[in-house]
Amino acid sequence: MYALGDWRRTHYSSEVNSEMDGQEIIIMGWNHSIRKLGKLVFIILRDREGTIQIVAPKQKVSEETFATAKSLGKEDVMAIKGKVVANEKAPAGFEVIPIEIKILNKADTPLPLDPSEKVSADIDTRLDKRFLDLRRPKIQSLFKLRSEVLKSIRNTFHDNGFIDVDTPKLVASATEGGTELFPISYFDKEAFLGQSPQLYKQMMMAAGFDRVFEIGPIFRAEEHNTRRHLNEAISIDCEMSFADEKDAMEILEKVINNAFTDIYNNNQKELQTLGIDLKVQETPFPRIEYTEAVDMVNAKGVEMEWGEDFSRPAEAALGEMMDGFYFITDWPTEIRPFYTLPNEDNPKLCKAFDLMYKDLEISSGAQRNHKYDLLVEGIKRMGLNPEGFGTYLEAFKYGMPPHSGWGVGIERLMMIMACQQNIRECVLFPRDRQRLTP
Amino acid sequence: MYALGDWRRTHYSSEVNSEMDGQEIIIMGWNHSIRKLGKLVFIILRDREGTIQIVAPKQKVSEETFATAKSLGKEDVMAIKGKVVANEKAPAGFEVIPIEIKILNKADTPLPLDPSEKVSADIDTRLDKRFLDLRRPKIQSLFKLRSEVLKSIRNTFHDNGFIDVDTPKLVASATEGGTELFPISYFDKEAFLGQSPQLYKQMMMAAGFDRVFEIGPIFRAEEHNTRRHLNEAISIDCEMSFADEKDAMEILEKVINNAFTDIYNNNQKELQTLGIDLKVQETPFPRIEYTEAVDMVNAKGVEMEWGEDFSRPAEAALGEMMDGFYFITDWPTEIRPFYTLPNEDNPKLCKAFDLMYKDLEISSGAQRNHKYDLLVEGIKRMGLNPEGFGTYLEAFKYGMPPHSGWGVGIERLMMIMACQQNIRECVLFPRDRQRLTP
């Protein structure tokens, strides 16, 4: 008992069908449900790819196999060697008659959360018992989609000449200001967790890498606890040289359009499990200038001044008017980060953009300021100290090309694609103000 | 000056050739070197893909263009609109005659490090001025290979049914013991940086994900400062259910063999720049049992007892006898982590393996202990407290399948592939005991 021995799975549940009538197979998974009808035991085995029905009639299987079948508890782990038998009356058109059953592990009772039940427990209970919650086909489907979305995004980057890089998450100083940072003790020094790879990906432009992307964790010690924020997230970042903000927006459109198209073409099974009717939105996405967006918000009766960022009610107002993805461009320079390039002709506006989906911000990007003097001015204007920027600033002194880029949180993208209202649904083990386990 | 305007690169340097005689192109990059011979200026423009020669004869270009060409300093960033002119006497069989030159940014003089010189500065100076060091074609080639290796590895995982996951780097407790952890203050709580995704990827097996991989940062507060260790690294981790350690070793062989094969087939240019004659080692890699390896080490005159881990001199002795990749299997249970599964017939040995390359450890893996009671015993035997393990241990109570997995550091893999002696060469911005910047 409990040892796999030389047994290996021959098929996932989804790979077995009635045309395999008479074939011997080995399937492995969990006891999703069991019904005992005297001399007949029905077992639903669940694996990652679906479920499959096993029928053990007392007169057709060995005594030991029948006893093992009857002894199975909910969520026990098992391997079944059996024969496929076509049967028109079975729900899938076939059943599996077991030849031998190995119990590979037992599950205690009662289960703290039952994966065979529809999602019902509150989100905190589900996250506390995440390993059980994640057994649900619906929840699993979301993370299968996420894996495929990341694959698609990386393919788009590679196909467009971007180099995959990893930059450090342990950083020496809290240079960017604004968002709060988590402090670490790094041997005898103080250090911080990176809140974004921004400064590093810009340095990679000075390094002549031309186009880079990075998909990795970012850490933000923000106090707010909303359905749209996390304290640890996975950020998709890119930066490209000799390119303006419009070039960066085009790459972003490609990345998102390809991701939706790839999922639409390859993952209908997961979409169906999630009950999602995925629409691939055509590119180019609509562009609205910031000033126009402010007017739209005011026209909707939500008051805001030119020069303010969009509040939640303002975003909601925009979301009511705009369907799907759209860009907001030409932002006031003073409400964007210091590394944003102001327009040459009207420096009150800058070459920044946000990508929105209805009322949700998906991405921020811009053409960056590549001129040393202007950058130092910008840093001072934000009340930051240029001396804290070390090598980052130095990189602008010795041949920094014009460059542009953006960042997207994979979790927010998954909220949109998988129609989720709470960002925690899109993370295996989320981290927020209260939650640090499991 | 400094603005890109509507100019866009039409070709990388490597895409221009003598058959394009007469064609107008736009190239962008750095002034790698310049020679002024009275009425003639020779410029070598360097971009990510190589270098290209521009010749500006005073009588053939506009006065302004000639003046701009002459004014160029080393490592200035420029865009050149020019005409390709076939010329048998030119080193590449053609030159570019400039029509217009835009200077996009100036580089201060003197440069703290000259990218056009052969690598010579000591590694600390190079890492301090990494953005300049990384402009060197040789250094850049290593990171192009790294990007392609990661792409290949992800493809192998996807092709073999592994789901890409991200697990948290902020963890609540120092459960695994042994290696030192970096403490963080997480709001009002104490937390730590994850030293490996081990416990999380095992929980993903309990969650029924069947096969997962993760490529992400790990953080180790180890004091030692060697040429083979980093305090922040990128770990390639995988875990698979219903599989023993031999299955895990086969996946590892596939991952490494495919990576070497893909690089061999697609990246000869970078290999040549690095001066590497890459050999793809055939699989299966040789397997040596631990006990046999101890005998080999002793026979080489390096003393070690059965039950000890291999010291550096012991690894060196093995490296002299073994060429290329090889596995060490069947380790003593007591020197492997608590989550390793002991052999059923002889529990003094366990189902662990290391993958070595000559004298360098590349990977550790094992079939894991999936039995709750045995696991608790193992935790206690290591002097750890089972109560600290929370949900991790709980996951073994409710249906944990047999599973196996391993981890590989991308930096060590790149040391081997790119023939590097110092692991810092394989990281853009390395973190070690002394180094936290840039």
pLDDT in tens, A358-375: 999 999 999 999 999 999
pLDDT at B330: 98
Residues of A marked as catalytic: 220, 222, 228-229, 361, 364, 412
Nearest Cβ partner of A108 from B231, B390, B398? Answer: B398
Residue pLDDT, tens place only, A82-91:
999 999 999 9
Q: Quick one: how many helices (H) and strands (E) in chain A?
A: 12, 16
Out of A299-303, B369-373, B379-383, least confident range: B379-383
* Catalytic residue from among B361, B377, B431, B433: B361
Domain residue ranges of chain B, discontinuous segments joined by +:
18-105, 132-286+322-425
Q: How confident is the model at residue B388 (pLDDT cuts 50, 70, 90)?
A: confident
Per the CB < 8 A criterion, the answer to whether B27 and B16 are in contact is yes
Using CB atoms, which residue from A166, A402, A429 is nearest to B234? A166
* Second CATH level (architecture) for the domain B18-105: Beta Barrel (2.40)
Q: Is B433 annotated as a binding residue?
A: no
Which residue is listed with tokens 């979305």?
A: A149
Cβ distance A164 to B146 less than 8 Å, yes or no, reads yes
Domains B18-105 and B132-286+322-425 share a fold: no
B412 is catalytic: yes
Identify the pLDDT of residue A116: 86
Mean predicted confidence (pLDDT) in A299-325: 97
B46, B135, B146, B220: the active-site residue: B220
- pLDDT tens column, A183-220: 998 998 999 999 999 999 999 999 999 999 999 999 99
| Partners of B101 in beta bridges | B80
- How far is the alpha carbon of A320 from chain B, nearest alpha carbon, in Å? 33
pLDDT exceeds cutoff 60 at B178: no
| Contact predicate A285/A327, CB 8 Å | yes
The pLDDT tens digits for B124-154 are 999 999 999 999 999 999 999 999 999 999 9
DSSP A261-305: HHHHHH-HHHHHHHT----PPPSSPPEEEHHHHHHHHHHTT----
Residue-wise pLDDT tens digits, B392-414: 999 999 999 999 999 999 999 99
pLDDT, residue B224, reads 82
CB-count burial class (<10 Å; 0-12, 13-18, 19+) for A187: middle
Fold of A132-286+322-425: BirA Bifunctional Protein; domain 2 (3.30.930)
pLDDT digits (tens, 9 = 90+) for B98-130: 999 999 999 999 999 999 887 678 999 999 999
Band (A178; pLDDT cuts 50, 70, 90)? low
DSSP lists the bridge partners of residue A30 as: A46, A77
For residue A385, the tally of other CB atoms under 10 A from its CB is 11
Residues of A in contact with B424 (CB under 8 A): none
With beta carbons under 8 A apart, name residues in chain B contacting A184.
Answer: 182-184, 193
Flag whether B5 is marked binding.
no
Please tell me the distance in Å from A391's CA to the nearest CA on chain B.
6
Neighbours of B279 (CB within 10 A): 10
pLDDT of residue A230: 96
Query: Over 70: is that where the pLDDT of A175 sits?
Result: no
The answer to the question of whether B381 is labelled as a binding residue is no
Q: Please determine, for residue B1, whether its predicted confidence score (pLDDT) is greater than 80.
A: no
Q: How confident is the model at residue A117 (pLDDT cuts 50, 70, 90)?
A: confident
Share of chain B above pLDDT 70, in %: 98
**A8 neighbourhood in chain B, CB within 8 Å:** 242-243, 247
To the nearest whole percent, how much of chain A has pLDDT over 70?
98
pLDDT computed for residue A223 by the predictor:
86
Q: What confidence tens digit (pLDDT) does each residue in A413-423 have?
A: 999 999 999 99
Q: What angle do CA B194, B195, B201 make, to 5 degrees?
A: 75
Per-residue pLDDT, averaged over A231-247, amounts to 98
The answer to whether B361 is a known catalytic residue is yes
